[in-house]
A and B are shown apart, each in its own frame.
Chain A
Amino acid sequence: MKKILSGNEAVARGVYEASVHYASAYPGTPSTEILQNISTHDEIIAEWASNEKVALETVIGASIAGGRSFASMKHVGVNVAADPLFTFAYTGVTGGCVLVTADEPGMHSSQNEQDNRNYAKFAKIPMMEPSNSQESKDMIVDAYELSEEYNSVVLFRMTTRVCHSKGIVEFGNRKEVKLIPYEKKFDKYVAVPAIGRKLRHKVEERINRLKVYSETSKWNYEVDNNSTTGVISSGISYEYAKEAFGETVSYLKLGFTYPLPSKLISDFCDKYDKIFIIEENDPYIEDFVKILGKECIGKDLFPYTGEMTPDVIKKYALSQNLDGIELDEDLFVGRPPTFCSGCPHRGFFYELGKKRKQIIVAGDIGCYSLAVGEPYNMMDWLICMGASLSSGHGAQKILDLDPNNKKRIVSILGDSTFFHTGINSLINTVYNGGNTINVILDNRTTGMTGQQDNPGSGFKLQGDYSTILDIEAMVKAIGIKHVRRINPNDLELVKETINWALELDEASVIITDWPCVLKKKYREEDFGLYNDMWKTKDIVIEDKCTGCKICLKSGCPSLIFDPENKKVIIDSNTCVGCDVCLQICPFDAIVKEGLDE
């Protein structure tokens, strides 16, 4: 059978064909859809983990217990999972294990552009890099064979364009793989120093065996086009190179990229007058080629950042510029992403932003990161998931060294981010006597990455109900004395609560409690909690609207200012009746539909 699949869907298919028993992940663009697609197969246990470290650890346990296991995450997620990864690299596996890292050259939706190929070398584990959807499926199946044969987790490196582009995939058959009965293996899995020292030698032996494998791996091959120029490439860059150079050059296509094949590369370099290395992000292949003592053209010529799309290759290697149709730039203005109509983050940021000069906002990663932009401009920094609470604590300690300090840190994160790594940070704040204001925007879902379920949403990935983590009880258990849980759409309450927190000189937690408009699944009891959720609409009474535009400060995309008659209208197709604008309007010109008589 043939189907058009994205790289992510193809990986999921491969995982199914390889008879993987257990899969875990934490969402993150561009990796998220992998586990979502895996979860459609009843044969596989698929679970959202609370963070990437947890995901990898559950998968390690599954492998030790004798199952084939799988984890996927975005590139920065591997940083979170790095601790277990580096020791799992020593112990090796029982059931085969693959870890997908989804990197983001060009940073389409990420905070950095780290090249996770370096992790393979760093952790001393084999690595594969598919170039397209077909390879994404086929290589996964093979990765499990390699993992079991060479006794190692395999790092499977994808990039945004491999994950999210679709291509035609020829399916294979599912090969039934039995569980390996559990046996205690003290010398393999108990990584105390005495055993670690022994394992260290095994790792070296493994790398040496893999070096031999790499020379003849079917994923590393030459395409001889009888040319004078040779191109060495891997991943999506190989497809770009083929598009740009066609058959005017010969290729060394590398799919098994740690350890790299020295002899294959040396021999290839010797055959051609000129060698181009086409790769995104770091000079990973290039450095290796240079260590082999071969001349090549890489980052000296090509940009060190961004994607190596065919236009980039043509521009730098062939001095060809593709001219598009030019247009006056004033024919378009930006269209940045915004909080959705009815987003529960809106009310909170609207109130927080009002004349509160003493506030410094320690931000975090989630939909609420959109508050960095117009009309809120509400974030002083944003580092990584969970960092709001801890970086806020450190900053407040420094600010408070000034005896006259009036500045207060407000640390803000979402529910999923709180479960991810925020909890540790909050424990630290309490333990060290911090006095920050900590806001948990609980919208009952992992919004930014597409509404995945999480420990607070009420559902597991494969559909069943789950325990709903009680954030309020947990925060109190940690030792926070001042906790309030509020409806963020009630602006008076939000204002009063922020003022309450500002008056305290101990750490406080504000939990805003209202679901994401895009949350997909609800439990019966949820409807009791959130009155008239999304059932109403707000409208503008035209005569009363003075055109003052104050409501537009809410940043709601349903509010449209008509420059002709100088009044605001509410788009009834998108308004869900959150009432934030209604409360903001100083002239009572906005009312609930049906109550306007």
Chain B
Amino acid sequence: MSNSIKFVGVGGQGTILAAKIMCAVLINAGYDVKMSEIHGMSQRNGSVSSEVRYGEKVYSPVIEKGSADILISFEQMEAARNMDYLKKGGILIVNNHKINSMITLNGKTPYPKNIIESIRGKAKTYIIDAQKYANELGNVKVVNLIMLGALSKILDSRHLDWEKAIKESVKPRFLDINLKAFSIGISQV
């Protein structure tokens, strides 16, 4: 049996780094791990996703529709867009934050209303105020570590060595704030 976690968001939000840290933790814990991402346009404000699969032995690196155990979204509309990847009974973790797209920016098509209300009933949902706490920490870039903290708690994986993986993945001068962000994430669940 393998497990599938799909990270989604908008280019620049640090989804890939979060997925990488997740992979490092799982590898240290002895799992076979595969991770997949589509590069290319990610720096151009487009939708992005990274997929992590782990278990005793993993073959396919991709997560298909209807097969993610957990969907972790760094943005509201991206959560809605990717809900069909979540399997029935899966878990959704979503950052309570909206980012306009080129289409909603010009005000012609509004950013969809009531996303959270609509998806809440469809899956077990955790809403994380990552943006708010990242702002309080003084660096919006740590949204990803807050989300990851929440994920670590939901996965019941506190016994794994997250700190080591975080240390190996972020620049030393940002380590403190990232560790803080991670523990805020844990406390949000």
Interface locus among A139-147, A236-244, A394-402, A437-445: A236-244
Interface locus among A11-19, A88-96, A329-337: A329-337
CA distance A132 to B61 in the complex (A): 9
CA distance A518 to B100 in the complex (A): 21
Q: Contact string, B12-38, partner A, CB cutoff 8 A, digits 1/0?
A: 000000000001100100001111111
CB contact list, B33-81 vs A, under 8 A: 33-41, 43-47, 58-62, 64-67, 77-78, 80-81
Whether A332 contacts B44 in the complex (CB less than 8 A), given A239-B61, A555-B102, A561-B105, comes out as no
Q: Which of B24, B102, B104, B123 contacts A325 (CB 8 A)?
A: B123
Q: Is the CB of A309 within 8 A of B62?
A: yes
State how many angstroms separate the Cβ of B137 from the closest Cβ of chain A. 15
State how many angstroms separate the Cβ of A28 from the closest Cβ of chain B. 11
Asked if B160 is an interface residue, CB under 8 A from chain A, the answer is: no
Q: Is the CB of B46 within 8 A of A331?
A: no
CA distance A30 to B39 in the complex (A): 8
State how many angstroms separate the Cβ of B64 from the closest Cβ of chain A. 4
Asked if B170 is an interface residue, CB under 8 A from chain A, the answer is: no
Minimum CB distance partner of B123 in chain A: A325
Asked if A467 is an interface residue, CB under 8 A from chain B, the answer is: no
Q: Is the CB of B32 within 8 A of A168?
A: yes
Q: Which of B36, B46, B67 contacts A337 (CB 8 A)?
A: B46
- Point out the residues of chain B lying under 8 angstroms from A109, CB to CB: 38-41
How large, as a class, is the contact surface on chain A? Answer: 35 or more
CA distance A573 to B140 in the complex (A): 10
Q: Is the CB of A323 within 8 A of B88?
A: yes
- Point out the residues of chain B lying under 8 angstroms from A132, CB to CB: 34, 61
CA distance A337 to B122 in the complex (A): 29
Interface locus among B111-119, B144-152, B179-187: B111-119
Q: Is the CB of A310 within 8 A of B64?
A: yes
State how many angstroms separate the Cβ of A136 from the closest Cβ of chain B. 12
- Point out the residues of chain B lying under 8 angstroms from A563, CB to CB: 107, 110
Q: Is the CB of B85 within 8 A of A340?
A: no
CA distance A448 to B60 in the complex (A): 28
Whether A325 contacts B122 in the complex (CB less than 8 A), given A333-B77, A333-B104, A549-B107, comes out as yes
Q: Is the CB of B43 within 8 A of A340?
A: yes
State how many angstroms separate the Cβ of A452 from the closest Cβ of chain B. 13
Asked if A29 is an interface residue, CB under 8 A from chain B, the answer is: yes
Q: Contact string, A314-329, partner B, CB cutoff 8 A, digits 1/0?
A: 0000000011111110
* Residue among B37, B39, B67, B109 having the largest count of chain A Cβ atoms under 10 Å: B39
Minimum CB distance partner of A314 in chain B: B64
CA distance A398 to B105 in the complex (A): 40
How large, as a class, is the contact surface on chain B? Answer: 35 or more
Asked if B5 is an interface residue, CB under 8 A from chain A, the answer is: no
Q: Is the CB of A326 within 8 A of B24?
A: no
Whether A340 contacts B27 in the complex (CB less than 8 A), given A166-B35, A309-B60, A325-B122, comes out as no
Q: Is the CB of B105 within 8 A of A559?
A: yes
- Point out the residues of chain A lying under 8 angstroms from B61, CB to CB: 132, 161, 165-167, 236, 239
State how many angstroms separate the Cβ of A286 from the closest Cβ of chain B. 21
CA distance A396 to B35 in the complex (A): 48
Whether A331 contacts B112 in the complex (CB less than 8 A), given A168-B33, A311-B65, A340-B44, comes out as yes
Whether A518 contacts B88 in the complex (CB less than 8 A), given A160-B38, A324-B66, comes out as no
- Point out the residues of chain A lying under 8 angstroms from B122, CB to CB: 325, 327
Q: Is the CB of A164 within 8 A of B37?
A: yes
State how many angstroms separate the Cβ of A446 from the closest Cβ of chain B. 13
- Point out the residues of chain B lying under 8 angstroms from A283, CB to CB: none
State how many angstroms separate the Cβ of B30 from the closest Cβ of chain A. 11
CA distance A549 to B61 in the complex (A): 44
Q: Which of A167, A328, A374 contacts B118 (CB 8 A)?
A: A328
Q: Is the CB of A332 within 8 A of B112?
A: yes
- Point out the residues of chain A lying under 8 angstroms from B33, CB to CB: 4, 166-168
Q: Is the CB of A339 within 8 A of B77?
A: no
Q: Is the CB of B60 within 8 A of A331?
A: no
- Point out the residues of chain B lying under 8 angstroms from A311, CB to CB: 64-67
Q: Is the CB of B36 within 8 A of A340?
A: no
Whether A338 contacts B112 in the complex (CB less than 8 A), given A165-B61, A309-B64, comes out as no
CB contact list, A521-572 vs B, under 8 A: 549, 552, 555, 557, 559-561, 563
Whether A240 contacts B60 in the complex (CB less than 8 A), given A332-B81, A559-B105, comes out as yes
- Point out the residues of chain A lying under 8 angstroms from B62, CB to CB: 161, 165, 307, 309-310
Asked if A108 is an interface residue, CB under 8 A from chain B, the answer is: yes
* Residue among A166, A328, A367 having the largest count of chain B Cβ atoms under 10 Å: A166
Told that A322-B66, A326-B84, A338-B44 touch, could you supply 16 new A-B pairs with CB distance under 8 A?
Answer: A30-B40, A108-B40, A160-B38, A164-B39, A165-B36, A167-B61, A240-B59, A242-B59, A331-B80, A332-B81, A333-B104, A335-B47, A338-B45, A340-B45, A374-B106, A375-B106
Residues of A in contact with B (beta carbons under 8 Å apart): 2, 4, 29-30, 108-109, 132, 160-161, 164-168, 236, 239-240, 242-243, 307, 309-311, 322-328, 330-340, 367, 370, 373-375, 450, 518, 549, 552, 555, 557, 559-561, 563, 573
Per CB-CB distance, the 8 closest pairs between chain A and chain B, nearest first, are A165-B61, A337-B44, A324-B84, A322-B66, A324-B66, A311-B64, A561-B107, A337-B46
16 A-B residue contacts at CB 8 Å? A168-B27, A309-B62, A310-B64, A322-B66, A322-B67, A323-B88, A325-B83, A327-B119, A332-B81, A333-B101, A333-B109, A336-B102, A339-B44, A340-B45, A450-B43, A549-B106
